[in-house]
Every structure is written in C-alpha cells, then in structure tokens.
Structure 1
Amino acid sequence: MTFSPPAPPAFADCTPRQKAARVLSDALAPAHLVVALLLLVGWHSTTSWTGLGRGLLAALFCGVVPIGIIALGVRRGALTDQHIRVRRRRVVPMALSLASVVAGVALLHALGAPRPVFALVVAMPVGLVSSLPVTVAWQISIHMSVAGGTVMILLLVLGAPALPAALVAAAVGRSRPVLEAHTPAQLLAGTALGGTAALTFALLT
C-alpha cells in the first residue's frame, strides 16, 4: 500500500509535541545540515581560511542554491512546503539541485579544493542520484538520508569526538514520525541511502 503523508497542520494548531518536532525537523533540514557539514569539513581540512573559503563555496552550490530552488517552488505554488511531501514533485527540485552540485564539483576541481571538501561534494550527487529513482515510487526520508550520511561522514573525519552528532540523526528520526511524514521503514531506507554518500566520501579521501 502506498503511504501518503497527510498535509501538515498549521503550526498554531499543532500539539506541543508536534511543535517541537516541527522546529527540529525545520532546523535539521537536509540543506541546513549540508551547509554545516561543508563548513566544518572545509575548516578541518586545512584549519585555515582557505579551507573554510572552499567550504563556503561548496555550501553555496550544495546548500544555498537548493534551498533557493525549493523556496522559489513554494512561493510559486509548485511545491506544497519546504519538505516536499508530495513525492512526484520532488523530482524537478532534486534534479536542479543535482545540477547545482555538479557545477560546484567542476568549480572546486578547477580551484584545487582540499581533498576532503572535493570528496564530500562528489559524495553528495551520489546520494542524490541514489535517492531519485526511489523517491519517485516511495516516500523515502531525504531528511534521514542526509542526517545519517552527515553523522557517518563526521565520524570518518573526526573519529570518536563526532559521536555526539548521532543525536542529530536521532532527533530527525524521532521528529519525522511524530509529524506523520514517514514510516519507520522509510526512515531506515533513508539512512541506508545516506551510507552511499559516506562510502563514496571514504573511497575518495
């Protein structure tokens, strides 16, 4: 049976539990996590302003532009909300985001970006390409895919000190069912797809 998430209620009509879940879900949205991860990896790669600058450039193509694409879609009425609950409408913004990421990959390669930053930007389209065919037929959790991939990559970069980042994935995994956005199976599948990005990053660094 196909799972169709209901339209979210207005924030004012939410229960306190739903309000907390909405705040967490919005704060830990995929594009936000991508920007934070790129800045952190950029700084860590060289511990200099050069690395941070490359991270900022990557964040522009991989985070800021996708946020703008979704915001424009919501404003024009092509998308229902920033989380794109109607899965058939995910394809166009995901494809445009993929094009932006590919452009970022080309530019960072030309500029000789630090290897971890370049590896991370390459890993992102791998995750997007893995998600595209699935999301056409199934409401897989992109939130969980990015959150899970973020935690795995942080562990690869920072080691044990990154373990508290698992709380981020836990918060996302808890908030999405409260909002009736995903089933447990869709959350698990999203996490597994996040592993494809982490594996790509590991192979390239």
Structure 2
Amino acid sequence: MTTQPLTKPAPGTATAQWLTDALEPKNWLLVITLAVGWHAGGWAGIVWGVVAGIFSGVLPILWIKWGERRKLWGDRHVRLRQDRLLVIPGITVSVGSGIAVMMVFDAPPRELLALVVAMMAALAVFLLITTVWKISFHTAVPAGAVAVAVLAFGWWALAAVPLIAMIGWSRLVLSAHTLAQVLAGAAAGAGIAAAVFTWLR
C-alpha cells in the first residue's frame, strides 16, 4: 500500500498568516483611537479613545465572531465578497452608534470624533465598492490609520508604512486579494481618512 505525499504549504504561508492575524484591522483601530485620544485630550482623551475603540474595533469583531459561530460567513477575515455585504452594515451600525454616543455626551476631543467619522465615511465607500469588487480592508485600515497619524503627530508616522507593505504581501501570498485590490485598499483608505480627518479636525 502506497501513501500519498503530503502537500507542502506554499513558501511563506505561515508567516503570511501570522502577519494577517497580528496586523488585522481591529488592532490598528484600537491603537489609532487611543493614540489620537491621548494626543487630543490627555487622560480624558484616552477614556474617549477606549470608547471609540470599543465601537470601531471590539464590537465589530464580536459581531463577526457571532456570525462565524452561526456559520453566516467564514472566519474573522470574511474572505468571501458576498459575506462582506452582510458584515459591513453591522460594523457601520456599531461605528455610527459610537459617533452618536460621542455627540450626545459632547465630550470627546474634536480630533477623535473626526477620526471616527472618517471611519464611517470609509465604510460607506467600501460598502459600495464591495457590491462589485473585493477591495482589501486589511490594507485600507492601516493606510487610513497611518494617514491620520501623519496629520496628527507628524511625518515620522510614515515609519509604519513598511507594515502596510508586509500586510499587502501576506494577503497576496494567502490568495486573499489581487495586487490591484491590495493597492486600491491602501490608496482609498489613506485618501478617505486624510480628507475627512483634515476637514473635520
């Protein structure tokens, strides 16, 4: 009896999966909301940064995991474009609720509110794009975060750009996106975030 040889994973697959998981959008959102909150309002700003992070990062991932457990879509990276059309509206509701909470209490630093509104604008644009094309959120979110960081903290924040390139590489190795989708995600994420943040801050 002969045994079939095991198929070896593509070179770099394990590293690519680790990068995709470690540098997923949620983590970028949690970092940038805390950083902008601190920059704009000190310790009080950090408190509001936590609030913004909960509505923009924590609740959305809980929503995704809820659907994953019920097999409404795949894993937390939501690989199928059609599934993203179900996931994005739920995330939009969460981010919109965060904006409402901030505005009702009229307490968050203006820069932090501008950041969260920029997230909402990006979600609206990306939902429209996702109806026909699977643009990359994995590069869009960090690119948007870096764009905001440059505007808020200075040009030194561009030091994080290589991380975006690494994420893009990981999405290509995992066959999760095409090069065009990776580049378009980064360009759209940075452009929308920079425009809205600059306008509202």
User: What TM-score, normalized by structure 2, do the two folds share?
Assistant: 0.91
- Residue 84 of structure 2 aligns with an amino acid whose one-letter code is R
1:57 aligns to 2:47 (yes or no)? no
Q: Contact 2:102 / 2:113 at 8 angstroms: preserved in 1?
A: yes
The alignment yields a C-alpha RMSD, in angstroms, of 1.5
Residue from 37, 40, 43 that aligns with 2:38? 43
Matches of 1:72 and 1:144, distance apart in 2: 24
1:103 aligns to 2:97 (yes or no)? yes
Q: Aligned ranges for residues 1-205 of structure 1 at < 5 Å?
A: 14-15=9-10, 17-46=12-41, 48-111=42-105, 112-194=107-189, 195-205=191-201
Residues 57-91 of structure 1 deviation map (CA, whole Å, 9 limit, x = unaligned) = 01011110000011111111111111111111111
Structure 1: unaligned runs, 5 residues or longer: 1-12
Matches of 2:150 and 2:15, distance apart in 1: 27
Q: Contact 2:147 / 2:193 at 8 angstroms: preserved in 1?
A: no
Would you identify which runs of 4 or more consecutive aligned residues in structure 1 move more than 2 Å? Answer: 13-16
Matches of 1:141 and 1:89, distance apart in 2: 14
**Alpha-carbon distance, 1:15 to partner:** 4.5
**Alpha-carbon distance, 1:192 to partner:** 2.3
Structure 2: unaligned runs, 5 residues or longer: 1-7
Matches of 1:75 and 1:15, distance apart in 2: 28
User: How many residues are aligned here?
Assistant: 193
**Alpha-carbon distance, 1:155 to partner:** 0.8
Matches of 1:70 and 1:14, distance apart in 2: 27
- Residue of structure 1 equivalent to 2:5: none
Flag the structure with larger Rg.
Answer: 2
Any idea what SS the aligned residue of 2:12 has? helix
Matches of 1:34 and 1:147, distance apart in 2: 8
**Alpha-carbon distance, 1:191 to partner:** 1.6
